Structure 1
Amino acid sequence: MNLSGPFIKRPVATMLLSLAIMLLGGVSFGLLPVSPLPQMDFPVIVVQASLPGASPEVMASTVATPLERSFGAIAGVNTMSSRSSQGSTRVILQFDLDRDINGAAREVQAAINASRNLLPSGMRSMPTYKKVNPSQAPIMVLSLTSDVLEKGQLYDLASTILSQSLSQVRGVGEVQIGGSSLPAVRIELEPQLLNQYGVALDDVRNAIANANQRRPKGSVEDDQRLWQIQANDQLEKARDYEPLIIHYKDGAALRLKDVAKVSDGVEDRYNSGFFNDDAAVLLVINRQAGANIIETVNEIKAQLPALQAVLPASVKLNLAMDRSPVIKATLHEAEMTLLIAVALVILVVFLFLGNFRASVIPTLAVPVSLVGTFAVMYLYGFSLNNLSLMALILATGLVVDDAIVVLENISRHIDEGIAPMKAAYLGAKEVGFTLLSMNVSLVAVFLSILFMGGIIQSLFREFSITLAAAIVVSLVVSLTLTPMLCARWLKPHTPGQENTLQRWSRCSNEWMVGKYATSLDWVLRHKRLTLFSLLVTIGVNVALYVVVPKTFMPQQDTGQLIGFVRGDDGLSFSVMQPKMEIFRRAVLKDTAVESVAGFIGGNNGTNNAFMLVRLKPIKERDISAQKVIERLRKEMPKVPGAQLMLMADQDLQFGGGREQTTSQYSYILQSGDLGELRQWYPKVVSALRALPELTAIDAREGRGAQQVTLVVDRDQAKRLGVDMNMVTAVLNNAYSQRQISTIYDSLNQYQVVMEVNPKYARDPITLNQVQVITSEGARIPLSTIAHYENSLEDDRVSHEGQFASESISFDMAEGVTVEQGTAAIERAIAKLGMPEDVIVKMAGTADAFAATQKGQPFMILGALLAVYLVLGVLYESYIHPLTILSTLPSAGVGALLSIYVLGGEFSLISLLGLFLLIGVVKKNAILMIDLALQLERHQGLDPLQSIRSACLQRLRPILMTTLAAILGALPLLLGGAEGSEMRQPLGLTIIGGLVFSQVLTLYTTPVVYLYLDRLRHKFNHWRGVRTDAALETPL
């Protein structure tokens, strides 16, 4: 059956079919979103709870633990971790990758509701949750600065105006605000004056709460009119609260301003942000899932002038971070790489055939196949990203292969004197099954990735389907458009009318065939030596895989650094600020740094700070982001009590199911015995610090946060009529920035915050000045029933899977791979001899690396099995697929040897290159074996004659297709601009594998074919079955 026959007869229909494919692809191209990497939806839900003034231990025991017990009953929870700090608890739930995030969210809300009775009664609101995708970094960060307005006012503008407007931009998912908090009326009480006037803290709180009300008051009406009733019940500013009467003494009114300082401030004074040298409020903008980053950023930028216009004149809206320039540059570089690859492939065809008309025909197959692939990408909801564009770049060398095979075979018949039309029918029919075998088995390799599950399936799904789609479209084009054009564009062969290039091409081909024939005959006379060399390559593959350094993913240069400043446990906000300033100035003065933004305090605690560093474009700094980090580490001044950890921001981030760490790599220690955990944690930290393979280790250096423990004499308190509720209530009123009332505005809601004057909160001795009221109304000092003790306690409490946990973050030293670093850690921990109830496990990138590392050999075997099954079905043979698969060991040696010699690392991108090699290298064997079988069936040649003749006839298309694939991948290897660190490992793997395998498989394939054919004959003879080649007709 000739699949190409109808299309050769109907040129108009064939051309229109090709135009329709391009039209669909062209329209789809404009609809594809743009992103750095494929959308990876890690189902993660973050639950946030707050109880102002509560210590980390109180938050852990009264908030985190009840919530964790409820969340633990939810199906599909992969990891659960929590971190409790002063007044805040954050629980992070990561679900299985196949878990529906919306269904999980409903169960999380139900669990929160079920925990209501177990949570502290003093919580002003129930815990809230949000769905997050930790693999998606913010697309833009804006900053608000002003020389006139306070940060609380800037935060209010960001919350009420900017956040709302930005959230309405198409593609924007969430806008987070940091660097300050909402405005609030702050009431700072004087305990001594309250004691003097005999006023309790609860009296003040109740007076304020009762004076500030916002409730419906109804209306009055007569027969014709209606009057709404309003009252001056809302107090809005500090000046409104100052004259408030809170008590009468001897008939005289005691006003709030007599016993307190009332001011307009912010809800949380332990919170500060900056942008370069200015105090700032930051707006962190995240995109919606699947949104086009470039379009979203452009729409935000278009809105900025209008937003600036509605802000006060003294407020400046600055662009602190923008991911789009790097993404644009990366995609532009990928697009240029694609065009270069296309040009190189066209050059190969032209040089080998020496005919302009002939070279145009396969050239047309490239745009039709690539553009048509865009339609499939759109139907599957894919985006234009680094991986999908890499698939298209590689497809350039693959899709032209089919057209080359058809064109070369038709051209050979024309050179033999057959008319172009007849040659097109004959040539297309001869290679139809060959094309089907090559492409179906190639698609099977890529689609096998979809069954691997986990991170690899999520990450490479778009790559594999995009490449498979391009191959399928190219098969259609090669069986329809290519033979039709050959029948009508190629001229009949006229002896003696060759041009110089055609003559050179013919002579070069004859010379190559002659040299190949001589060497092939020698090999066929020394088959055992050749077979032995093939067996050696299998052993070399194993040896190289063991010794080649391995990592998870190539380190990207996104033009951004993330910095974490960790202060000693217990450092106050006022002490932490100048330390952060030292780090900020040191980073900002580096010549490669364009801007620095960040914030201190907030939910992260007073001794923690975050920094976002934007680097200059790579052409202006001439060094990678990692080199900038290394330089900053060396030049960073030593700051007592604080440490700055820097890491390069990556498009692909892991560890989202746990509390954010200060590096890509981290280890978690957990135990049900808190004492055991605290005993072994410092030993593990010391062991890791001694390893030269690690650097920038971030770990808690002991329990150093100062704590005041109030020890109440319960018997004495009972005699005096004081219970624990009264004690904790008075402490809450005095020291926890308690929110006691709400101010309702037309745009937002603000709080009234009450505490004692900060000067009375600087030393524990001030606790003696606090008075409590007995059940009989008498006032007694707190020291009458209690004394305080100083101790050291954790400033944060972490849980992992409901067990107490501690984390250690680190980075790999220069030149050390993830594999080498994790191996060194495992050896160091094994020497410690920890008890079984202390569990150590990897987290973040180290965990992802370990998970993928274990399954890599099985993934490769799975792909090989898929190819074997497909080829076995197509050839109706158990033996011939083995001959085809024998080409793969040499490709593996070439790929791994290239990585090893050039000092590279075997990553997931390199693994992807091996999958490509499995699909590409076997094409050579298919071209040989398919023709050899035809010669045996139709011309009665013996196996030796048929395979030798097939090798010589198919030498030119084999060299053309291989060289096209190599040159198609060459731009991936040589590119050095944005995004090249993701493409280079793929190009290196493919080129190394193709070059090495091309040399060997031209000789090993015919030898293996002969040995397996002999084995087949012996096996069939033993079974008493005929072995005629005619019986082995493929599908």
Structure 2
Amino acid sequence: MIEKLFNSITRGSLRFKWVTITLSVFLMVAGVFAFTQLNQELIPQIEFPQTIILALNPGMDADTMLNEVTMPLEEALSHIEDVVNVETTTSSGLSVTVVRNDFGLDQEEIRAQIQAVVDAIELPEGMEKPDLLTFSFSDLPLASISISSEGSSLQELKDLVEAKVVPELELIAGVAAVNISGGQELPAEEEEVAVEQSPEPTQEPTEEPTVEPTEEPPVEGEVESVAMPDSWIAAMAAQGFPITTVDQLNSMIIAGFAASAPEMLDELTPEMVLAMPVGALAALPEEFIASMSPEVQAQLMEKLASTAPPVVEEETHPSTLPAAWQAAGEAQGIPLNTVDDLTPELIQGFASFAPEMLDLLTPDNLLLMAPEVLAVLPEDYIASLDADLQAELDEIIQSAAIFIPTTTINRANGNPSLGMSIFMDKEANTVSVSHKVFEKLDELEAADPGLEFEIVFEQASFIEESISGVTREGGLGAIFAVIVILSFLSGRSNGKFKLSWRSTLVAGLSIPLSVFMAFALFKWLPVVSDPVFTPLVDATKDIAVLGGFINALATLFTSKLTLNIMTLSGMTVAVGRVVDDSIVVLENIYRHIQRGDDQRTSVLKGTRDVSIAIFASTVTTVVVFLPIGLMGGLVGEFFMPFGIAVTYALSASFLVAITIVPLLAFLFIRKEHLPPAEETRMQKIYSPILSWALGHKGATLAIAGVLLIGSVFLFGTRPQAFMPDFGDVRISTTVDLPNEYNMADTNALTLEFEEAIFDIEGIGSVLTEIGSGGGMESIFLGSAINQSAATISIGIENAELATELTAQIRQKAEKTFGVDHVVVSSGSLSSQGFGGFALVASAENFVKLVDFNDTAIQSLNDVDGLANISSNLYDTGTFLRVDGEPAIRFGGELETKDSLRVTNKAREALAEIAPAGITISEGFESQMQSEGFAQTFQAIGISIGMVYLVMVLTFNSFIYPFTILFSLPLAVIGAAVALWLSDSILGLSSMVGMMMLVGIVVTNAIVLVSRVQVNRKERGLETKAALLEAGRTRLRPILMTAIAAILALVPLAIGFSEGAIIASELAIVVIGGLTTSTFLTLLIVPVMFNILDRFSKNGKKGKEKKAA
């Protein structure tokens, strides 16, 4: 029935020649037009399935934020059905909740549910509703630009940019926002002091005072150590005090709890109180002691009296700080006796950790404070003071002209500058908007000769290079494929070598026709199919299997595709495959003409004979991508555009093969144009080898088995990573100096570091930002200035030198800033979106996590391939929780291509040493990568099943399609060898390449087995004779299609352009797998067919005997 349909289509194309030609030209032109109109971007617009809830309440301490904001949010969010992970980070005045769900769900609906939860939750009085944020690759800046001007101060430049440059850029269609950063200038006196006080380059910065409780002298009769309440342990660990027993308490800690959380004192048992050091006992509030039993009170008084020093009457000086402040200083190992000992950083610390301590300060204390210390007192605290006192303090601050930075210091390659980030609308064309922006910047520079824009980063050039590179490699692949066709179809005629240009052009035209028809589908198929599939998806979304299938089809037909490295890589990969159907059809027509059939009969019969085979081959190649759509996840989001591109191109190629190719063959190919039919040299070599293999089945299969085992071993030696590096590689240096360093100090050290690295050969642009640590503050609190933090982003000229340059820069950074105050790492776009290392330890009991932290860090440092291991445990005043449990996140840098294997080793290392009650899991980033890898294995298994089903329907048999599946292991051999020879990673790209092989390698076997079936059923040949004839007949089209596909992929595999990086490993796998599977298929498939056919016949004879 299907064969008749295809035959009717071919007949129609011959009957209505000019209609067919006109329609083909129209589709070609439409495809060219669509190609020029499609949006261009680097990678598909992947919207990560997560929502960030940002809650701000300046002045609220971390404990209150946790209990009154974060935990209620966690509880409410846990009831949303599709939420799979809730991670919260809480600090003073800030709560960040990351809500994650699976890919492929209706993100708008889930965000609406999250918004409803946020709106319904009861927040502390006066607190504004939290904001909801999302992230996708389209949120990355279109361009980052450094701005400078000769003869203008930074402030004058900033005024000019904000008044003239920003408004001009915001008028450009497609520009969503323009952000300006930098512009801070240091007063001359600040720079002079910084130069005088900064450490020498070889000297590490002064270490921050150790924040540990002081040990008090033992007291006679002191009891053994007694554990503190769990809530105390958690609170102390969150503030950077890893203590667990009451004998480690001191007066500062007790005073802090008494002032900020007096209700926690009620958790202390008499045993705990009696085990406290004397200093801690003395700080207990009188009302708390009065609430205890008389017996306990008596013991406490006795203990205090036995160690009380003689009382000396002494007049208190106005500058003397309250006893609680002195005790706090004693506990931290720093003098805090008078107001002269106070620094801005200490005031900020108390305001965050224990704001109630500020209430203990006397008016005399405040009036005697240094102006720079007064300047950082919280506004709400100042507002609570007497009006006259406020006026006096304000006068002191104003008269001192204190320097308080309001923005960051920016430099580009050592020169003072402003930073400008330009963002675009999600639906805009990256390349066209970039060109308009750069044209406008050129106009502005021409209008103001002193103004200079230096482009630090922009996406357009990389996108254009990627697209042109992949397009170029696709074009080269098409040329190679045409050369292969010409070589195989040409031959000697009457003693002369004759080139078959006509036949080659007929087959070669299928490449541009198929490709540009696919581009036309890119542009207009979603417009036509969306109204059809939208109601179907809605109607079947609750039906498990059918709903998933309809959704996958909807994705295939309604996805709005753009020109990016994934869709273009898909088209490039398809170039080698789109010509296959045309080659098989043309070669069969070719043989019929050589055999003497008339022109029309040769075309119709030649096409009809192979129509079912090429249809099955096309369908098997296409269906391998259906599991990607069904399984969803990051793999589906990232590679689905690739699969859709291949599907469109192959579907177009089949249509071309049964319409345009027969028509052109009918019009242009005659017998006199062809060399005579005769056995080729390849057939003469192949036939005896196949005959030997059929006579030595065991030896043939044993050789294949040995090769397969060896290939599995090679696979095990390859590094495993989710994605290869792509995009510009930069080295990031994150500086976090002690709080006592002001902006001038940080700037002085950063200048020294810049001077040190400018001499390193191979580095590119150096971008410095002082005042932002590049972490949570820079993401969520753009206005927050951290004077002791800086980020230096360093470009490199050769990505292959990234590891070497990172080591050199890390050495100089640690020498300048100190080992404990700087982190140096390298990464590209792939490491930002798909890389990174993170493990999470969680437990109901926070004490266990505190005890486990140092051991875990040491264990991770011992894992090869990891560096810069740290945890968030000692992030002062910060609470991390994962799915409602206290947690610690361990992070670090992967210094190896074998990232997945190293992550697994790290997880196993922690799991081995983790005490009972602690759960070790991958951080969400690592988990997403591991799951994506596992999903790809599952998709390959599903693909094999779907390919088998297609072949069962094609051959109407369960046994003979099974013989075709034996070509799949043969592809593994070549894939493994190719990855090993090219030193490539075993990653997501190569796994998708393996999936493609499932659909590609069986096509040769299908063409071979279909001929065997024709020989047996229509010509009555015995099995061995049928196999030998089919092998000789199908040898040329099999080799032609395979070699054409292989050579078409060679430019992509070599990967000269950046855009080919992702598809390069995929192409390498397909080339290797197709090479071995092609040659071994010509031997192993006939051998297995012979074996299974004999088995089938024996089974039938056995049944007949039983019946008799």
* Superposed pair shares fold, TM > 0.5: yes
CA apart distance, 1:153:
7.7
Moved more, 538-547 or 469-478: 538-547
Contact 2:571 2:645 in 1 (8 A): yes
Matched residue, 2:836: 664
1:300 aligns with 2:477: no
Structure-1 separation of matches of 2:857 and 2:25: 64
Per mean C-alpha deviation after superposition, the further-off stretch among 575-584 and 899-908 is 575-584
* 1:274 aligned residue: 411
The aligned counterpart of 2:652 is 473
Q: Report what 2:561 is aligned to.
A: 382
Aligned ranges for residues 984-995 of structure 1 at < 5 Å? 984-995=1064-1075
Residues 725 and 828, structure 2, Cα contact 8 Å, conserved in 1? no
Relative to structure 2, which stretch is displaced further, 860-869 or 523-532?
A: 523-532
Alignment match, 1:10: 16
Distance 1:78 1:1025, change over 3 A: farther
Q: Which consecutive residues of structure 1, in runs of 5 or more, have no partner in the other structure?
A: 211-245, 656-662, 704-792, 1028-1035
> 1:451: Cα distance to partner?
1.5
Question: Map of 1:937-976 to 2, 5 A cutoff?
Answer: 937-976=1017-1056
The alpha-carbon distance between structure 1 residues 648 and 841, as it changes in their structure 2 partners (threshold 3 A), is same
Change in Cα spacing, 1:179 to 1:51, as seen in structure 2 (3 Å) is farther
Moved more, 877-886 or 982-991: 982-991
Residue equivalent to 2:456 = 320
Q: Secondary structure at the match of 1:805?
A: strand
Q: Post-superposition shift, 1:461?
A: 0.4
Q: Deviations over 1:776-804 (max 9, x none)?
A: xxxxxxxxxxxxxxxxx715433333333
Q: Report the counterpart of residue 392 of structure 1 in structure 2.
A: 571
Q: Aligned pair 1:691/2:863, yes or no?
A: yes
Instruction: Tell me, yes or no, if structure 1 residue 368 matches structure 2 residue 541.
Output: no
Hey, what's the Cα distance between the residues in 2 that align with 1:800 and 1:485? 65
AA aligned opposite 2:920: V
Superposed CA offset, 1:354-381 (max 9, x none): 2011110011100000011112222331
Q: Is the 8 A contact 2:839 2:907 kept in 1?
A: no
In 2, distance between residues paired with 1:544 and 1:664? 26
The separation in 2 between residues aligned to 1:203 and 1:463, in whole angstroms, is 57
Q: Deviations over 1:690-730 (max 9, x none)?
A: 22332233445x74xxxxxxxxxxxxxxxxxxxxxxxxxxx
Q: Name the structure 2 match of 1:935.
A: 1015
Displacement, 1:33?
1.4
Partner of 1:401 in structure 2?
580
Q: 1:622 to 1:805 in 2, by over 3 A?
A: closer
Q: In structure 1, what is the Cα distance between the partners aligned to 2:184 and 2:132?
A: 20
Residue equivalent to 1:776? none
- Kept in 2: contact 1:428–1:483 (CA 8 A): yes
| Between 803-812 and 1015-1024, the greater mean CA deviation after superposition | 1015-1024
1:601-629 Cα offsets, whole Å, 9 max, x none, are 4525735433433444xxxx484545543
AA partner of residue 938 (structure 2): F
Rounded to whole Å, the distance in 1 between the matches of 2:368 and 2:813 is 53
Match of 1:809 among 883, 891, 905: 891
Q: Which has the higher mean CA deviation after the structures are superposed, 952-961 or 553-562?
A: 553-562
- C-alpha contact 2:182 2:410 (8 A) present in aligned 1: yes
In structure 1, distance between residues paired with 2:697 and 2:980: 30
Distance 1:135 1:536 in 2: 49
- What is residue 30 of structure 2 aligned with on the other side? 24
Q: CA deviation at 1:408?
A: 0.8
Aligned-pair CA distance for 1:864: 0.3
Relative to structure 1, the CA distance from residue 417 to residue 65 in structure 2 (aligned partners, 3 Å threshold; closer, same or farther) is same
Offset at 1:515?
A: 1.0
Q: CA deviation at 1:69?
A: 3.7
Q: Show the counterpart of 2:989.
A: 909
Q: Which is strand-richer, 1 or 2?
A: 1
Deviations 1:100-130 (A, max 9, x none): 3333333333333333x43364x5x443222
Rounded Cα–Cα distance in structure 2 between residues aligned with 1:264 and 1:391: 63
Q: CA deviation at 1:577?
A: 4.0
Look up the SS of the partner of 2:462 in the other structure. Answer: helix
Structure 2 residue corresponding to 1:457, chosen from 636, 640, 646: 636
CA contact (8 A) 1:446 1:464 kept: yes
Whole-Å separation in 2 of the counterparts to 1:890 and 1:629 = 41
Does the Cα contact within 8 Å between 1:588 and 1:595 map onto a contact in 2? no
Match of 2:900 in 1: 819
Inter-partner Cα distance in structure 2 for 1:399 and 1:42: 33
Match for residue 632 of structure 1? Answer: 809
TM superposition shift of 1:583: 4.2
Question: What's the counterpart of residue 41 of structure 2?
Answer: 35
Helix, strand or coil at the partner of 2:670: coil
Alignment of 1:879 with 2:959, yes or no, is yes
The residue that corresponds to 1:609 in the other structure is 790
Residue of 424, 428, 431 corresponding to 2:603: 424
Distance in 2 of aligned mates of 1:127 and 1:386:
37
Which position in structure 1 is the counterpart of 2:722? 552
Aligned to 2:701: 531
Q: Flag the 1:163–1:99 CA change in 2: closer, same or farther, 3 A.
A: farther
CA distance in 1, matches of 2:364, 2:510: 88
Aligned match of 1:231:
none
| TM-score normalised to structure 2 length | 0.71
**Judging changes above 3 Å, is the alpha-carbon distance between structure 1 residues 7 and 313 closer, same or farther for their aligned structure 2 residues?**
closer
The secondary structure found in structure 2 opposite 1:40 is coil
| Distance in 2 between residues matched to 1:376 and 1:182, nearest whole Å | 56
Distance verdict in 2 for CA 1:686–1:158, change over 3 Å: farther
**Residue 149 of structure 1, CA deviation:** 7.5
Residue pair 1:534, 1:889 contacting (<8 A) in 2 also: no
Structural mapping, 1:744-783, within 5 Å? none
Q: Look up the SS of the partner of 1:329 in the other structure.
A: helix
Cα shift readout 1:847-886 (whole Å, capped 9, x = no counterpart): 2332133334322211100000111112211112111111
CA contact (8 A) 2:620 2:950 kept: yes
Three-state SS of the structure 1 residue aligned to 2:398 is: strand
**Partner Cα separation in structure 1 for residue 160 and residue 54 of structure 2:** 24
Contact 1:143 1:281 in 2 (8 A): yes
Paired AA for residue 371 in structure 1: F
2:53 pairs with 43, 47, 52, which one?
Answer: 47
- Aligned-partner SS, 1:4: helix
Question: Does residue 78 in structure 1 map to residue 78 in structure 2?
Answer: no
Distance 1:597 1:629, change over 3 A: same
* Conserved 8 A contact 1:442-1:919: yes
CA contact (8 A) 1:420 1:488 kept: no
Given the alignment of the two structures, is residue 142 of structure 1 paired with residue 145 of structure 2, yes or no? Answer: yes
CA deviation after TM superposition for structure 1 residue 546, in Å: 3.9
What is the RMSD of the two structures over their aligned residues, measured on CA atoms?
3.9
1:191-230 deviations in whole A, cap 9, x for unaligned? Answer: 7698599xx99999899999xxxxxxxxxxxxxxxxxxxx
Match of 2:762 in 1: 592
In 1, Cα distance between the equivalents of 2:1095 and 2:145?
71
| 3-state SS of paired residue (1:954) | helix
Residue 898 (structure 1) aligned with residue 1070 (structure 2): no
- Partner residue of 2:477? 341
**Who is 1:128 aligned against?**
131
> 8 Å contact 1:557–1:981 — kept in the other structure?
no
Inter-partner Cα distance in structure 1 for 2:665 and 2:399? 89
Q: 1:588 to 1:326 in 2, by over 3 A?
A: farther
TM (normalized to structure 1)?
Answer: 0.76
Question: Counterpart in 1 of 2:97?
Answer: 91
Assess if the C-alpha contact under 8 Å between 1:569 and 1:794 holds in 2. no
Is 2:1023 the counterpart of 1:853? no
CA distance in 1, matches of 2:375, 2:671: 105
8 Å Cα contact 1:1020/1:1026 also seen in 2: no
Correspondence for 1:867: 947
Q: Is residue 410–residue 426 contact of structure 1 (8 Å, CA) maintained in 2? A: yes
State the percentage of identical aligned residues. Answer: 23
Distance 2:57 2:658 in 1: 70
Aligned partner of 1:767 in structure 2 is none
Does the residue aligned with 1:552 lie in a helix, a strand or coil?
coil
Unmatched 5+ residue regions in structure 2? 187-343, 349-360, 491-499, 527-558, 779-784
